[in-house]
């Protein structure tokens, strides 16, 4: 279940959808909702613009989800990623995972989020008082992905 959208999402509604999508009642649902930060380093962020390539973006996220299903015994995964111009404090991404056990749900949610930061076909432009700049994956994010292969 992947959605790339401009509109905001409702955590409560998505939680219910996750329950409805599970063939059997899950033992755990773990979610991560990411928000637009109000700063990057020393610069104050006024907005973040996210762009995607329809079809390619969803395929890149589906690949991440498929890897999670291969690594853990999961019942359902939900990923929503917003695009467009977003203000600080706005919800930007939701990752929700249902599993029989909490450890698998926590680990897989973190795995998916780590890979979204580095592998998903989404471009981010930060708007600050110092100007606009396209963002690249941070070294710390790339290292987190490398740690999953160990």
pLDDT of residue 41: 67
**Paired residues of 131 in beta bridges:** 128
Q: How confident is the model at residue 102 (pLDDT cuts 50, 70, 90)?
A: very high
Tokens for 132?
Answer: 């606009």
What integer is the mean pLDDT of 82-96?
Answer: 97
pLDDT of residue 149: 86
pLDDT of residue 136: 87
pLDDT of residue 34: 97
pLDDT of residue 68: 97
Question: CB neighbours of 82 closer than 8 A, spacing ≥ 6?
Answer: 4, 5, 6, 7, 8, 9, 50, 90, 91, 92, 93
Give yes or no for a contact between 14 and 80, defined as CB atoms under 8 angstroms apart: yes
Of 72, 96, 71, residue with least CA distance to 149:
71
Please give the residue that has the higher pLDDT: either 120 or 38. Answer: 120
Q: Could you report the per-residue pLDDT of 16-75, keeping only the tens digit for each?
A: 999 888 778 999 999 999 999 887 767 789 999 999 999 999 999 999 999 999 999 999
What integer is the mean pLDDT of 86-105?
Answer: 96
Print the SS3 string covering the chain: CEEEECCCCCHHHHHHHHHHHCCCCCCEEEEEEEECCCEECCEEEEEEEEEECCCHHHHHHHHHHHHHHHHCCEEEEEEEEECEEECCCCEEEEEEEEECCHHHHHHHHHHHHHHHHHHCCEEEEEEECCEEEEECCCHHHHHHHHHHCC
pLDDT of residue 130: 86
End-to-end Cα distance, the chain: 28
Please give the residue that has the higher pLDDT: either 130 or 54. Answer: 54
- Give the domains, in start order, of the chain with CATH numbers: 2-148 (3.90.1170.40)
pLDDT of residue 80: 98
């Amino acid at each position: 279940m992947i959605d790339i959208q401009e509109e905001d999402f409702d955590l409560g509604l998505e939680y219910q959808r996750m329950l409805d999508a599970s063939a059997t009642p899950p033992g755990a649902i773990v979610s991560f909702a990411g928000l637009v930060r109000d700063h990057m380093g020393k610069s104050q962020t006024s907005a973040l613009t996210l762009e995607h390539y329809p079809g390619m973006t969803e395929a890149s996220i589906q690949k991440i989800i498929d890897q999670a299903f291969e690594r853990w015994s999961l019942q359902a995964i939900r990923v929503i990623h917003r695009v467009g111009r977003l203000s600080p404090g706005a919800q930007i991404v939701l990752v929700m995972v249902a599993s029989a056990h909490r450890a698998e749900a926590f680990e897989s949610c973190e795995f998916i989020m780590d890979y979204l930061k580095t592998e998903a076909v989404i471009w981010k432009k930060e708007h600050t008082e110092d100007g606009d700049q396209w963002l690249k994956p941070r070294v710390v994010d790339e290292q987190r992905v490398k740690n999953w292969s160990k």
